[in-house]
Amino acid sequence: MSFETRISIENLNLFYGEFHALKNVCLQVPKNNVTALIGPSGCGKSTLLRCINRMNDLIDGVRMEGRIVIDEQNILTPGTDVVALRKNVGMVFQRPNVFDQSILNNLKFGLRIHRQMRSKNETKDLIQKCLEDVGLWDVLKDQLRKNARELSLEQQQRLCIARVLLLKPEIILLDEPCSALDPIATLHIEELLRVLRERYTMVIVTHNMQQAARASDYTGFMYMGQLVEFGVTREIFTAPRQELTENYITGHFG
């Protein structure tokens, strides 16, 4: 395995009150690749993902130890500019969280809260570019004032990805981004991820092992708060080194 590290997770422990949810996790996330996190329900995938943009801060009673280094900075330190971090590390959720507003307003919203408003023309160009990047421009360019809730779920999820891209992040976290979508829409989103990985470092949590195998370059298998194994996706799925990983991918539990 040789790659350039984009995110370095070092001896990360996380506690929800007394509950030890992440146990000494060490993971080097490769730059401009898709890394999948897999493992049975409750093993800590979402918790780990949320550490990378400090989303767990929003939960009462959370305590973290260890380091997560991005651009030579440990983002877990109290001095971290969390707003800037979340702009650089975008997040896409399970259910497309579009607002009950026009497509345009959905896109401008992120720019507004991050004070990234530019001149009208610049904003227009940026919106066009991001919609092109997610394959929505040709279909939607004449309906930008339509309510985003009227779009198909796949289009809504693409819109959510476009909204993240608008802020020019370098890292994108996706927590089961296809779990609300049908199989065809799922394949479309996976194709999109393959295109985007040229420019972004992506970490995707998925329950769907076929999805991890198809859409990711690297895979980490988690079990009960630990990262059991990490490696090139093809190797994890064909020749895992740990028995636990093998049991999971062959469907013996989870």
* Closest of 160, 186, 211, 166 to residue 37, by C-alpha: 211
Distance CA 159, CA 155 (A): 6
Residue 9, CA atoms < 13 Å, CB-side half-sphere = 25
CB of 227 to ligand ATP, least distance (A): 12
Instruction: Give the contacts of 24 (CB within 8 A, at least 6 positions apart).
Output: 11, 12, 13, 66, 226
Q: Is 93 in the site for ligand ATP (CB under 6 A)?
A: no
Q: Which residue matches tokens 């090139």?
A: 232
CB atoms within 10 A of CB 253: 9
Q: Is 15 in the site for ligand ATP (CB under 6 A)?
A: no
Of 5-13, 37-45, 103-111, 210-218, which part binds ligand ATP (CB under 6 A)? 37-45
Provide the β-strand partners of residue 92. Answer: 174
From the list ligand ATP, Mg ion, none, partner contacted by residue 42 (C-beta under 5 to 8 A by kind): ligand ATP
Of 1-9, 15-23, 135-143, 145-153, which part binds ligand ATP (CB under 6 A)? 15-23
Name the residue nearer to ligand ATP (CB basis): 65 or 191: 65
Contact call for residues 48 and 222 (beta carbons, < 8 A): yes
Q: Which residue is nearest to Mg ion (CB)?
A: 46
Of 25-33, 42-50, 130-138, 190-198, which part binds ligand ATP (CB under 6 A)? 42-50
Residues near ligand ATP (CB under 6 A) are 16, 19, 21, 39, 41-47, 59, 207
